[in-house]
Amino acid sequence: MKGLGGLGHILACPTAKSIMQPRIYTYKITFEEVPYWYWGVHKEKKFGEPYLGTPVTHMWMWEFYTPRIQILEFFPYTSDGWKEARLVEDRLIRQDLNNPLCLNEHYGGIMSLEICSAGGLKVHKEKDSDGKSKHAIKMAARAIELGVGATARTPDKMVEDGRKGARVTNSAKDELSRSINAVKGANATNLIKGQDGKSANAVKGGRKGAATFHKEKDGSGKSINAKKAVETLHSARDERGRSIHTLKTINRRWRSTVDGFESNAGNVARHNRANGWPPEARVKV
């Protein structure tokens, strides 16, 4: 996590006595790479503690991108001050709740400072088999039922917003025409390696996904889904009975971005590797 950003306006100048006391404040999270934002309120346990929000639904964005915090307004460190701060947070979120770039999914509810000081409401204590909060899942289902927040959008609107976000996120390219943000995320995800040099996360995810996909077997012990996938992939045939997919794959032209060598994907990758260049330094022609 990066450091704190700039301060917003302050209700009153802190006195020498209160300068090191914990604070209550509203804030806005933005990201260096993408135009999303998040409104929130925070009650410090210790003055000046590093804080960048407590996302749940979109937590991956805080890990993938570079978040910055802007403190907007300070409130008295009292029960009334906490209530007032929560009301201000509600007003901030309410205006943006249906904005596809706003990461807040709900607002409302005021908890006393005493309850928060005692440990807060442990609503996310119960987890399902995947480690997800049962309460969060329940609230998400309720939001879908009511059609609020992101769920208020139609399926077509969700697809459109997703495409817009993807275009913005992947607009910056490196010298190999790869999305800089995608490469950054992939590097972070695959940072931890096993003894064989393979990404621990990729291996774990691959095993879990493969186990689920290939769970159903036929009489000979072969994966039913795998057989269906292969049959679908090669279902289209030419007049000589050859798989059109295979022919397209073989005949698709690629070019080495290093010296311009052209051939199919495999040949270009082998050409690059033989010359000591990255095999992936290639583009479709």
pLDDT tens digits for range 19-36: 688 999 999 999 988 888
pLDDT for 87 beyond 80: yes
Share of the chain above pLDDT 70, in %: 69
What's the pLDDT tens digit per position in 206-237? Answer: 666 667 777 788 888 888 887 887 788 788 88
- Mean pLDDT, all residues of the chain: 76
Q: Where are the domains of the chain?
A: 24-121
- Is the pTM for the entire model greater than 0.75? no
Cβ partners under 8 Å of residue 41, min gap 6:
24, 25, 26, 27, 85, 86, 88, 89
Sign of CA pseudo-dihedral 149, 151, 156, 161: positive
Q: Give the up-direction half-sphere exposure of residue 165: CA atoms within 13 A in the CB hemisphere.
A: 15
